[in-house]
Amino acid sequence: MKSKQYSIKVFETTVNDELQFMDFFDNNHMLFKDHLILIEGELSKKIRQYLEDKKLKYLHNMHLPKGRTRKALEEEMKMQEADANISAEIAKNEIAKLSNQLQNNLTVLDEMIRSGREVYVEDDLLLLGRINSGATVRVRGNVIIMSVVEGSIRCDGNYMLLKASPKANIVFHDVEVDNGLLEDKLNRVELKNNEIIITPVLKKETNWA
């Protein structure tokens, strides 16, 4: 995908009187010919034709996002950084808690599972890398995945801890888990009383699959 970012000048105005509007742009055409003109209110055929004849670029009754000051952007970035640090600490504690529940027969893989590869683990699995689209991981025990899952995972253990992308295919005890419940956040998927329970690690609400 090729992209470009432009900085444009916008002039916002309202048409209250057609003649006054046209007189204004007649007198200031050179000033506003390179602007995007944002026009609020009713726009007659006469004004539309005038704008086209003058080759003025305009939008009608559109609300453009307002720019923010550098200070506001810096404050927002600080808040996002603070939230990210809190989220990371919560996730770290959750992973540590679940890691303690893993059995001694634990398989640790510090690698990326690439497309086309199939991995089978008989016991518990701690995967530090990601599962790429087109890759498959099958686990008989419990699973903790530190990076995003884009491929397929099959788990028959008591729980999984993972974050999935829209591409992922997650099957827990032969039940396909709805990706919308897992996307863009760390989740704990558990089997309790023959029910699959999905709990976002960083949120309080619980979803039932």
Q: What is the DSSP string of 12-70?
A: EEE-S-HHHHHHHHHHTHHHHTTSEEEEES---HHHHHHHHHTT-EEEES--PPPP--H
Number of structural domains (the chain) is 2
Provide the angle, in degrees to the nearest 10, between the axes of the packed helices 18-27 and 45-53.
10
**What CATH number does the domain containing 117 carry?**
2.160.20.70
Query: Which position has the token pair 């990210």?
Result: 84
The answer as to whether 31 is a domain residue is yes
105-134 pLDDT, tens per residue?
788 888 999 999 999 999 889 888 899 999
pLDDT in tens, 17-69: 888 888 898 888 888 888 888 888 888 888 899 889 888 888 888 877 766 66
Write 105-110 long-range contacts (CB < 8 A, 24+).
105/141
Q: Is residue 203 part of a domain?
A: yes
Reported confidence tier of residue 209, pLDDT bands at 50, 70, 90: very low
- Assigned domain for 83 exists: no
Q: Is residue 76 part of a domain?
A: no
On whether residue 66 sits in a domain, the answer given is no
Residue 51 lies in a domain: yes
User: What range defines the domain where residue 30 resides?
Assistant: 10-60
Residue 132 lies in a domain: yes
Of 35, 51, 43, 184, nearest to 200 by C-alpha is 184
Residue 5 located in a structural domain: no
One domain, residues 55 and 135: no
**Same domain as 133, residue 40:** no
